[in-house]
């Protein structure tokens, strides 16, 4: 009896040995909730055996006394003790019946044990059901058998039956049941916790066998290292399996520090015992050493030395782990050397080396290892999956795709695609990463069986290949087919939603993630942060961040980046950056790039210097992206000297962004000449100029209306073969229109081979700016016919065009179509255009009603437009103007323009006392108005003039020409419009004051030079009515076109008429 039980006991210990080092693979076990039993008989012998048993029962006339001798019983036990075949099991069963031992509990337990060992669980269960009495060994044998043979669900059911039958499980039954719970996945975790509670009430709470399995369950199934360590601490007498189990728990989590601390404790505690590291110990330590990127290589080297000293280098398991570990760190020569020293190699060794090479993006090397070793060690499905993952890492993606198709053909011929879903998944992944997304979709659709990995591979591949709509649709298909999404599924789908701006679907997926408990995954939360940030839902983004149970570096970078991109919340980015530092997080290059963007937006000089110091501390100053971010930051903060120092040190790391950052910095700080010089230097040194460079410089030329410089840049663009680029083309249209050459802008626009929304908007705004409202509206009609949907900027141009030519009704039609036709909610700038439209048309009585009907509260832009309209109304409706002025003083008391407009309104109505009060209020507020000036660009430079200017070195000839012009204008019928002399002076003084306005001085200066070219005058303020009238006379007198650009628009004067038709 003792020997039989001992046999069972030895087999249990063998099964439970080193539980933490058995590779865990997902198995399609049925859920615990569906209690369905299907007999499993791999040897197809149950039916014939049962026939023999029934025959013996019916024909045997057993004499129990004759055959109950201890010698015969002992003989059977000794003979069949280690049986492992169905024939021997059949023979023992028949002899037990023949000799009358059917009621022997020991023999029945031994027979169940043999059936379990050979995998004949049907016969084992049949015998179990027929037994008249059972003991703990009976139950333990059956439970352990189901667990061992991959039926954890049935094992859990039998354990429940055992407890219900009143048996108190022994440590073998507990161990087997816990192992079954662990292998059942999340569905078995609840039962596992209940079993642990039951164990704690028995004497097995500190039993080493039971506790070893509990450690493994908490570590792998429940991912609870603290609970696993608590169980470990409660073991009275630990063995090597205990140490290996707890070390494995931390190793799998990537907690190398804890794993090696435990290893050190194991060596210390085992000095008087036999706790020497074995192959399982080293396997876990090698896995742990591969976790920390910084120090893992050094630790791995030390483990190699320890392995060599301990004599385990020849071990297949340890050697394969070392090969994989060294290969993952890119030490492929060391990995191959270890592989050569291994006494035995198998397919796992080859696969480990290939995985390491693929991770190092050495696809060709991985494929070569497969070719050289496949005939020596054989292949398995994992080999082909790894090989397929190597092809996207080829230096030539086309060559990798071609090799991938060859392997695809091979697995089709060998029918591996139909039998192994992992290979189909590998094919989908390979084609997706190789850019052949159509082939990936074809493979997916032809797959006989699909699992969640198949769907994840497809959805991820579609997202990576920018097929965002297909990716989102595939996610919905997956859900309809009944597959549960994983964290990888949500990450890819949320990325697609973010790229498409589909916030509604993104929110639905967020809800799905909460229901499935996936929102607590840090990577899923990071994807949610990106979704809400890219769709402008900053409040939701911050809420997701605040609810995250744990963060990683990506989480902090995401929220700081989102805040940096939001104008209203840039200051919060600095706050979160400081919190990140206080939390002890390591700052990455992405962190610095994001925070430097925020600092540049806020122009925080001191903070910029402090972050620069941190960059130097982290040794990241040589990083090109960070250098570019520093250039942008210092440029926007006005410290171009710092930019020049950084740029000069970037001799070997400059890229196109570096050059563009410098050019943008010069332009931002109004150093256009330096920007242009840098462009010429780029061309002379052979530096490639991209479309962004030209668009930036052209924008600068447009802002200061330097037509000559703009044309030079245009010529450079032609030389760089970028004239047909849509970005450069749109910038050229904008530049020519803002520099007064609307004819050039229109001509170039018509020649553009491709147009985008910016091209159309530039042309519409250009025509509107030059007073060609009808042409602007025709371009808008062509834009719609061309299939280009308008945006908010388009309607600003359209409404401005209507305003400049007085098309009130048509303006209202376009305004209403924004929401009704194009689903564009009007913004503040559109309401401002409508107020301007009514004001210019003299319909001031309708302005107040329009403002009261606005869905948002009017801001300074609206009220300033109202006050400007009232100041041009010759004193009519001063009540509305006074109301607008009061709102402006409340909202923006330090802006001098508000006081000037108010004074101008009173002056136009000759209310001089109110004018004096407005100027007194301006003086009391200690604000200064911007001095009006005009300038012209000549061959010898830019000449700037102010009203009554006598500082120019050619002042005598200028004023002589001015007097001549005044005389000739009066002869033509010119009468000074003294109502624009906004001072309470005598008539003669007012006329003299008007004659010395800066734009008239500029025109006189140009006419002192001999030329027949059009005269181009720029003015920083709105031109007054008297000067507008005078320019019409001057253009007729001198026979030259005069193009005046003021702060609002262009005026083209020719033959005494203006392009605005005196409606401005």
344-360, pLDDT tens digit by residue?
A: 788 888 888 888 889 88
Contact 666, 675 (CB under 8 A): yes
pLDDT at 717: 85
| Element counts in the chain: helices (H) and strands (E) | 57, 6
| Nearby residues of 62 by Cβ (< 8 Å), 6 or more positions away | 98, 99, 100
Token pair of 18, please? 């080193």
pLDDT at 918: 79
Q: Which residue has the higher pLDDT, 465 or 352?
A: 465
Cα 62 to Cα 101, 133, 884: the distances in Å are 10, 21, 118
- Report the distance separating Cα 183 and Cα 29, nearest Å: 9
Q: What is the pLDDT of residues 676-722, one digit of tens each?
A: 788 878 877 777 778 888 888 888 788 777 788 888 888 888 888 88
pLDDT at 430: 94
Angle at 465 between CA 459 and CA 470, to 5 degrees: 45
Q: How confident is the model at residue 20 (pLDDT cuts 50, 70, 90)?
A: very low
pLDDT at 624: 92
| Nearby residues of 187 by Cβ (< 8 Å), 6 or more positions away | 31, 32, 33
Q: Of 475-479, 590-594, 801-805, 916-920, which gets the smallest average pLDDT?
A: 916-920
- Report the distance separating Cα 266 and Cα 71, nearest Å: 48
Q: How confident is the model at residue 43 (pLDDT cuts 50, 70, 90)?
A: very low
Question: Which one, of 433, 435, 432, 738, lies nearest residue 444 by Cα?
Answer: 432
DSSP β-bridge partners for residue 1050: 1045
Q: Are strands 1015-1019 and 933-938 parallel, antiparallel or unpaired?
A: antiparallel
| pLDDT, average across residues 70-84 | 64
Q: What is the pLDDT of residues 288-299, one digit of tens each?
A: 888 765 566 788
Cα 50 to Cα 75, 448, 532: the distances in Å are 24, 38, 66
Token pair of 339, please? 């592989």
pLDDT at 307: 83
Question: Which one, of 988, 957, 995, 955, lies nearest residue 974 by Cα?
Answer: 995
Token pair of 798, please? 């359209």
Q: Of 412-426, 642-656, 915-929, which gets the smallest average pLDDT?
A: 915-929
Token pair of 243, please? 């140490």
Q: How confident is the model at residue 867 (pLDDT cuts 50, 70, 90)?
A: confident
**One-character DSSP codes across 538-577:** HHHHHHHHHH-SS--HHHHHHHHHHHHH-GGGHHHHHHHH
| pLDDT, average across residues 804-831 | 90
Q: How confident is the model at residue 906 (pLDDT cuts 50, 70, 90)?
A: confident
Contact 1051, 1023 (CB under 8 A): yes
3-class DSSP state for residue 934?
A: strand
Token pair of 547, please? 């609810």
- Report the distance separating Cα 879 and Cα 920, nearest Å: 20
| pLDDT, average across residues 1025-1040 | 90
Q: Are strands 1042-1045 and 1015-1019 parallel, antiparallel or unpaired?
A: parallel
In what helix (H) or strand (E) does residue 945 lie, and over which residues does it extend? strand 941-946
pLDDT at 488: 92
| Nearby residues of 789 by Cβ (< 8 Å), 6 or more positions away | 757, 822
Contact 1060, 1051 (CB under 8 A): yes
pLDDT at 292: 60
In what helix (H) or strand (E) does residue 1050 lie, and over which residues does it extend? strand 1050-1054
Residue environment code for 994-1024, b if the CB has 16+ CB neighbours within 10 A, otherwise e: bbbbbbbbbbbbbbeeeeeebbbbbbebbbb
In what helix (H) or strand (E) does residue 808 lie, and over which residues does it extend? helix 808-820
3-class DSSP state for residue 99?
A: coil
């Amino acid at each position: 009896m003792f020997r039989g039980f001992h046999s069972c006991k030895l087999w249990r210990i063998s099964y439970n040995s080193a539980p933490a080092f058995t590779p865990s693979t997902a198995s399609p076990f049925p859920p615990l909730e569906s209690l369905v039993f299907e007999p499993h008989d791999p040897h197809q012998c149950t039916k014939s055996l049962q026939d023999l048993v029934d025959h013996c029962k019916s024909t045997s006339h057993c004499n129990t006394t004759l055959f109950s001798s201890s010698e015969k019983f002992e003989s059977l036990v000794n003979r069949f003790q280690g049986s492992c075949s169905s024939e021997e099991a059949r023979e023992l069963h028949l002899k037990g019946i023949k000799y009358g031992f059917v009621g022997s509990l020991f023999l029945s337990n031994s027979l169940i044990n043999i059936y379990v060992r050979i995998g004949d669980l049907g016969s084992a269960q049949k015998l179990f059901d027929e037994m008249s009495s059972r003991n703990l060994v009976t139950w333990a044998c059956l439970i352990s058998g189901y667990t061992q043979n991959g039926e954890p669900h049935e094992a859990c059911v039998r354990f429940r039956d055992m407890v219900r039958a009143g048996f108190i499980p022994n440590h073998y039954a507990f161990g087997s049941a816990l192992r079954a719970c662990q292998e059942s996945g999340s569905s078995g975790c609840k039962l596992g916790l209940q079993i642990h509670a039951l164990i704690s009430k028995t004497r097995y709470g500190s039993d080493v066998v039971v506790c070893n399995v509990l450690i493994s369950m908490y570590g792998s199934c429940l991912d609870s290292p603290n609970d696993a360590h608590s169980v470990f601490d409660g073991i009275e007498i630990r063995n090597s399996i205990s140490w290996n189990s707890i070390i494995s728990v931390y190793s799998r989590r990537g907690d190398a520090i804890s794993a090696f601390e435990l290893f050190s404790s194991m060596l210390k505690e085992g000095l008087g015992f036999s706790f020497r590291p074995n192959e399982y110990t080293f396997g876990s330590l090698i896995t742990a050493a591969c976790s920390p990127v910084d120090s893992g290589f050094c630790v791995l080297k030390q483990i190699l030395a320890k392995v060599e000293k301990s004599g385990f280098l020849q071990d297949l398991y340890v050697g394969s782990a070392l090969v994989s570990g060294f290969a993952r760190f890119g030490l492929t020569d060391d990995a191959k050397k270890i592989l050569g020293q291994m006494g035995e190699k198998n397919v796992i060794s080859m696969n480990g080396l290939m995985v390491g090479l693929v991770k190092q993006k050495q696809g060709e090397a991985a494929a070569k290892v497969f070719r050289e070793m496949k005939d020596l060690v054989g292949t398995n499905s994992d080999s082909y999956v790894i090989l397929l993952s190597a092809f996207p890492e080829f230096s030539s993606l086309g060559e990798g795709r071609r090799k991938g198709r060859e392997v695809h053909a091979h697995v089709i011929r060998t029918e591996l695609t139909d039998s192994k879903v992992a290979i189909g998944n590998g094919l989908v992944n390979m084609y997706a990463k190789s850019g052949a997304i159509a082939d990936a979709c074809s493979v997916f659709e032809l797959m006989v069986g699909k699992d969640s990995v198949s769907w994840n591979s497809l959805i991820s591949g579609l997202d990576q290949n920018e097929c965002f709509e297909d990716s989102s649709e595939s996610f919905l298909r997956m859900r309809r087919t009944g597959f549960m999404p994983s964290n990888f599924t949500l990450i890819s789908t949320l990325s697609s939603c973010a790229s498409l701006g589909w916030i509604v679907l993104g929110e639905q997926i967020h809800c799905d993630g909460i229901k499935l408990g996936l929102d607590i995954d840090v990577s899923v939360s990071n994807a949610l942060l990106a979704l809400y940030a890219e769709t402008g839902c900053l409040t939701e983004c911050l809420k997701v961040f605040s609810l995250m149970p744990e963060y990683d570096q990506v989480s902090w970078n995401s929220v700081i980046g989102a805040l940096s991109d939001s104008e209203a919340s840039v200051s919060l980015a600095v706050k979160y950056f400081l919190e990140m530092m206080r939390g002890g997080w390591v700052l990455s290059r992405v962190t610095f790039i994001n925070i430097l963007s925020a600092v540049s937006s806020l122009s925080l000089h001191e903070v910029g210097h402090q972050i620069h110091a941190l960059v130097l501390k982290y040794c990241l100053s040589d990083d090109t992206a960070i250098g570019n971010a520093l250039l942008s930051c210092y440029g926007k903060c006005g410290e171009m000297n710092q930019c020049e120092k950084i740029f000069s040190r970037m001799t070997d790391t400059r890229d196109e962004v570096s050059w563009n950052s410098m050019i943008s910095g010069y332009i931002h700080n109004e150093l256009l000449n330096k920007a242009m010089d840098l462009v010429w230097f780029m061309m002379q040194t052979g530096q490639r100029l991209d479309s962004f460079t030209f668009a930036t410089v052209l924008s600068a030329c447009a802002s200061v209306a330097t037509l000559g410089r703009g044309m030079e840049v245009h010529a450079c663009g032609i030389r760089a073969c970028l004239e047909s680029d849509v970005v450069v083309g749109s910038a050229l249209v904008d530049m020519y229109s803002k520099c007064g050459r609307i004819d050039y802008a229109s001509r170039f626009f018509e020649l553009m081979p491709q147009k985008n929304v910016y091209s159309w908007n530039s042309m519409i705004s250009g025509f509107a700016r030059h007073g060609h409202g009808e042409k602007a509206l025709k371009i808008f009609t062509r834009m719609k016919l061309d299939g280009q949907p308008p945006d908010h900027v388009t309607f600003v141009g359209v409404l401005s065009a209507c305003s400049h030519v007085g098309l009130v009704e048509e303006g209202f039609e376009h305004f209403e179509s924004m929401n009704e036709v194009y689903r564009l909610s009007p913004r503040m700038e559109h309401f401002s255009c409508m107020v301007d439209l009514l004001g210019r048309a003299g319909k001031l009585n309708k302005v107040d009603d329009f403002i009261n009907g606005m869905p948002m509260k009017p801001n300074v832009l609206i009220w300033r437009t109202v006050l400007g309209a009232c100041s041009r109304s010759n004193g009519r409706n001063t009540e509305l103007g006074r109301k607008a002025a009061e709102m402006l003083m409340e909202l923006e008391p330090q802006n001098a323009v508000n006081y000037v407009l108010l004074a101008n309104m009173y002056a136009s109505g000759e209310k001089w006392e109110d004018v004096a009060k407005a100027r007194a209020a301006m003086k009391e507020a200690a604000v200064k108005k911007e001095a009006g000036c005009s300038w012209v660009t000549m061959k010898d430079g830019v000449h700037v003039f102010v009203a009554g200017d006598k500082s120019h070195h050619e002042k005598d000839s200028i004023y002589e020409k001015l007097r001549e012009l005044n005389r000739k204008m009066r002869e033509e019928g010119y009468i000074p419009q003294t109502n624009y002399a906004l001072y309470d002076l005598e008539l003669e003084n007012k006329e003299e004051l008007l004659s010395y306005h800066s734009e008239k001085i500029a025109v006189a200066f140009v006419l002192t030079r001999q030329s027949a070219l059009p005269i181009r005058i720029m003015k920083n303020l709105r031109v007054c009515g008297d000067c507008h009238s005078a320019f019409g006379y001057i253009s007729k007198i001198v026979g030259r076109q005069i193009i005046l650009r003021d702060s609002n628009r262009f005026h083209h004067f020719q033959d005494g008429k203006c392009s605005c038709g005196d409606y401005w």
